[in-house]
């Protein structure tokens, strides 16, 4: 697993001339009985490098599950939407019913909360997320 993580986060795609400074972040503990789902999409400039991931932790910060995938469209919005969709599916499949979800994509959160027209480019995915949220559970989706 260490080798897989190292390969996933190596610097082969990083352009040192455009490298950004490091930002320290902290994790906020969720309330007892609630799991925390963090989702994110990534686009490194080509369809072959568009992906998404999610991580589920309990209120103690213990890793409960995670996944990463490759998005089929070179769109950061699509990658963020797919991260949320697959993350919610993962939580439901594992039996987690009290979930707080964080995404750094305000646009994704807004589309999910407000809904979209049937003609929106990602209407099917947004509708699928909203159908998941309508199930019998407690989910809060918030931007970071």
How many residues in total does the chain contain? 144
CATH fold, domain 39-143, is Nucleotidyltransferase; domain 5 (3.30.420)
Mean pLDDT for the chain?
81
Q: What is the pLDDT of residues 47-71, one digit of tens each?
A: 677 889 989 999 888 999 888 888 8
Backbone φ and ψ of 58, nearest 5°: -90, -175
pLDDT at 89 over 70: yes
Enumerate the domain spans of the chain.
39-143
Q: Are 120 and 93 in contact (CB under 8 A)?
A: no
Q: Are 37 and 55 in contact (CB under 8 A)?
A: yes
């Amino acid at each position: 697993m260490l080798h897989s993580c190292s390969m996933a986060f190596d610097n082969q795609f990083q352009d040192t001339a455009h490298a950004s400074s490091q930002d320290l972040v902290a994790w906020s503990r969720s309330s007892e009985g609630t799991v925390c789902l963090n989702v994110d999409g990534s686009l490194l400039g080509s369809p072959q490098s568009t992906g998404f991931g999610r991580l589920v932790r309990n209120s103690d910060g213990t890793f409960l599950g995670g996944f990463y995938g490759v998005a089929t469209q070179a769109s950061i919005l699509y990658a963020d939407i797919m991260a949320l969709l697959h993350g919610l599916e993962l939580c439901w499949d594992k039996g987690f019913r009290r979930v707080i979800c964080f995404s750094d994509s305000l646009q994704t959160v807004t589309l999910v909360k407000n809904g979209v027209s049937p003609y929106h480019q990602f209407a099917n995915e947004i509708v699928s997320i909203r159908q998941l949220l309508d199930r019998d559970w407690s989910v809060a989706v918030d931007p970071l």
